[in-house]
């Protein structure tokens, strides 16, 4: 049995009187690729933001294996926003975040990712001059800079062109094969959702379905498509 990578224990998240999550308990083992499905407002983004520790839960606990030093676990997180600076170039953005995370040889790592993303030729262009898809590729690269053991992807395919989409599928596949734990929120089925080994469906802040079997996994991802 693989070790636990991440555990949500009776997590509640309230915004004023509104519950975004209600008593969510979920244990994710190392190397799992979990697809979160659900309608808009079902709590997927909140769950991912709590997992990234950007948002503190109103009740319940988030558990990482190295509980003594939770800051040691630094998930890679791709959000709705690109989370990069428009007024910096692609390379400046990646080198900035690589340096902040003490990545070895930050410039070399940034350039390697820019090569993979076919953005090397535009590395000195300001991000604000990029298309939505190019920005999304930079956003994903930022999350991968420090080679995280946990990767949280919130609708990562947003704005990607077929090349970007193929790159993302390949990257998710490779990371999953290398033992990286991946949690991603998705809308409907795609090449990326096909890589999921488990599907969890949220509705009104509660987990309503959780499966690892192929048939059910398919039905969870497609049921009530948004």
To the nearest whole angstrom, how small is the minimum distance from the Cβ of residue 179 to other proteins?
21
Query: Please, are residues 70 and 35 in contact by the beta-carbon 8 Å criterion?
Result: no
- Decide if 75 contacts 81 (C-beta within 8 A): no
Residues between 97 and 156 that touch other proteins (CB under 8 A): 97, 99-102, 142
Stretch that binds other proteins, among 20-28, 51-59, 174-182, 193-201 (CB under 8 A): 51-59
Choose, by CB under 8 A, the member of 8, 64, 77, 165 that binds other proteins: 77
52 binds other proteins (CB under 8 A): yes
Least distance (Å) between residue 146 CB and other proteins: 8
First to last CA, the chain: 34
Chosen residue from 17, 56, 66, 121 binding other proteins by CB under 8 A = 56
**What is residue 205's three-state secondary structure?**
coil
Residue 223 C-beta: closest distance to other proteins, Å? 30
The residue (of 7 and 74) whose beta carbon lies closer to other proteins is 74
Residue 152 β-bridge partners: 77, 183
Q: Is 204 in the site for other proteins (CB under 8 A)?
A: no
Check if the beta carbon of residue 79 is closer than 8 Å to that of residue 140. no
Check residue 81 for interaction with other proteins (CB under 8 A). Answer: yes
Give residue for tokens 């001059």. Answer: 129
Q: How far is CA 94 from CA 23, 111, 116, 185, in A?
A: 37, 9, 13, 24
Q: What minimum distance in Å lies between the beta carbon of 127 and other proteins? A: 9
- Residue with Cβ nearer other proteins (90 or 221): 90
Q: Does 16 bind other proteins (CB under 8 A)?
A: no
| CA gap 213, 221 in Å, rounded | 12
């Amino acid at each position: 049995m693989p070790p636990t990578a991440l555990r949500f224990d009776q997590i509640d998240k309230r915004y004023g009187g509104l519950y975004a999550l209600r008593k969510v308990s979920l244990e994710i083992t190392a190397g799992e690729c979990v697809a979160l499905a659900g309608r808009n407002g079902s709590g997927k983004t909140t769950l991912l933001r709590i997992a990234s520790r950007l948002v503190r839960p109103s009740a319940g606990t988030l558990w990482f294996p190295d509980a003594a030093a939770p800051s040691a676990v630094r998930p890679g997180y791709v959000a709705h926003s690109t989370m990069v600076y428009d007024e910096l170039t692609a390379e400046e953005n990646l080198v900035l975040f690589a340096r902040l995370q003490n990545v070895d040889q930050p410039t070399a790592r940034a350039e390697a990712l820019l090569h993979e993303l076919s953005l090397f030729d535009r590395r000195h262009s300001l991000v604000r001059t990029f298309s939505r898809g190019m920005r999304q590729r930079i956003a994903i690269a930022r999350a991968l800079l420090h080679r995280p053991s946990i990767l949280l992807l919130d609708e990562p395919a947003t704005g990607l062109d077929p090349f970007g989409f193929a790159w993302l599928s390949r990257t998710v596949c490779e990371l999953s094969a290398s033992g990286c734990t991946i949690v991603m929120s998705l809308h409907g089925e795609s090449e990326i959702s096909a890589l999921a080994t488990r599907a969890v469906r949220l509705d009104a802040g509660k987990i309503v379905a959780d499966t690892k079997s192929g048939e059910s996994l398919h039905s969870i991802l497609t049921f009530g498509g948004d």
